Amino acid sequence: MSQSPLNRAQVEQLVRQSLSRFVGQGSSQQKQGPNPLVVNISARHCHLSQESVEVLFGKGHKLTPMKDLYMDGQYAAQESVTMIGPRSRVISNLRILGPCRDFDQVELAYTDAVSLGFKIPIRNSGDIAGTPGCMLMGPAGFLEMKEGVIRAAPHVHMAPEDAEYYGVENKSFMKLRVGGELGVTFDRIFVRVDPSFKLEVHIDTDEGNACGFTQDTPCELIK
């Protein structure tokens, strides 16, 4: 017995079912990166040399780890300092991150700089030539920094296998698409590649607040 022809509604239903199966297969087979992407907000902090630590906390003083950070070997120290900016405005309890480096650097958000009363450039970590300085105060003394106060550029740390997966090189740029209610895309995420790195994006507190970022916000790196 011959079957009666399908009406328009039945045809559309069959097409939708077919497309649904196709899309489902595609998403289940989507290639995943070698390492999970982590996005963290980096609050204001400073990096110090061992010599500067001793100026602020006393001869022979060593930083005391308080909390491990996501990146292996990095930690927030128990020690903090007071930062004195222009016109004697201060930020108290500026956390020191360890281990010690071979240079001194303070990383602030834009609103931190406004509250201190001066303008700071956006720079990559370590690129401090020509940047403003400040005074740091610790329990044992004062440290005058001639330069080194920056607003850290948004950046991503990644291992070589991550760089290969995303098709990027050290010191190149990527985009970070942040989901959620606002849906913001950062267009210039600086890429730092090293075998010791985990896949981690750093944005500052102003940037995190502006895009409504939380630990549940979906994020995606884009070349």
Tell me, yes or no, whether 159 and 135 share the same domain.
no
Mean pLDDT of 77-83: 98
Determine contact, residues 159/124, Cβ cutoff 8 Å. Answer: no
Q: What is the average pLDDT score of the chain? A: 88
Higher pLDDT, 172 or 4: 172
Range of the domain at 196: 154-222
Tell me, yes or no, whether 173 and 105 share the same domain.
no
Would the pLDDT of 10 be above 50? no
Higher pLDDT, 86 or 58: 58
Amino acid 33: pLDDT: 86
Tell me, yes or no, whether 93 and 175 share the same domain.
no
Mean pLDDT of 156-169: 98
Tell me, yes or no, whether 79 and 130 share the same domain.
yes
Residue 102 maps to a domain: yes
Determine contact, residues 200/165, Cβ cutoff 8 Å. Answer: no
Amino acid 162: pLDDT: 97
pLDDT digits (tens, 9 = 90+) for 175-204: 999 999 999 999 999 999 999 999 999 999
Say which residue the tokens 């994006």 belong to.
Answer: 201
Tell me, yes or no, whether 169 and 214 share the same domain.
yes
Final residue of a domain: which of 136, 151, 166?
A: 151
Residue 53 maps to a domain: yes
Tell me, yes or no, whether 83 and 141 share the same domain.
yes
Tell me, yes or no, whether 180 and 85 share the same domain.
no
Tell me, yes or no, whether 49 and 138 share the same domain.
yes
Mean pLDDT of 132-161: 97
Q: Rounded to whole angstroms, how far apart are CA atoms 88 and 138?
A: 16
Amino acid 7: pLDDT: 46
Which range, of 6-10, 171-175, 209-213, averages the lowest pLDDT?
A: 6-10
Mean pLDDT of 207-214: 96
Determine contact, residues 211/184, Cβ cutoff 8 Å. Answer: yes
Tally the domains of the chain.
2
Would the pLDDT of 4 be above 90? no
Q: In terms of DSSP H, where are the helices of the chain?
A: 8-28, 50-57, 110-116, 160-166, 205-210
Would the pLDDT of 99 be above 50? yes
Using DSSP, state whether 56 is helix, strand or coil.
helix
Would the pLDDT of 9 be above 70? no
Looking at residue 174, the DSSP 8-state letter turns out to be E
Amino acid 120: pLDDT: 95
Amino acid 177: pLDDT: 97
Amino acid 143: pLDDT: 98
Would the pLDDT of 16 be above 90? no
pLDDT digits (tens, 9 = 90+) for 29-43: 334 689 999 999 999
Tell me, yes or no, whether 85 and 65 share the same domain.
yes
Determine contact, residues 71/98, Cβ cutoff 8 Å. Answer: no
Tell me, yes or no, whether 209 and 160 share the same domain.
yes
pTM: 0.83
Q: Rounded to whole angstroms, how far apart are CA atoms 205 and 183?
A: 17
Residue 25 maps to a domain: no
Amino acid 124: pLDDT: 97
Determine contact, residues 97/44, Cβ cutoff 8 Å. Answer: no
Distance of CA 13 to the CA centre of its chain: 46
Sequence-distant contacts of 110-116: CB under 8 A, at least 24 apart = 110/151, 110/204, 110/206, 111/205, 111/206, 112/44, 113/149, 113/151, 115/89, 115/91, 116/83, 116/85, 116/86, 116/89, 116/90, 116/91
Final residue of a domain: which of 151, 178, 212?
A: 151
Determine contact, residues 49/211, Cβ cutoff 8 Å. Answer: no
Final residue of a domain: which of 111, 133, 151?
A: 151
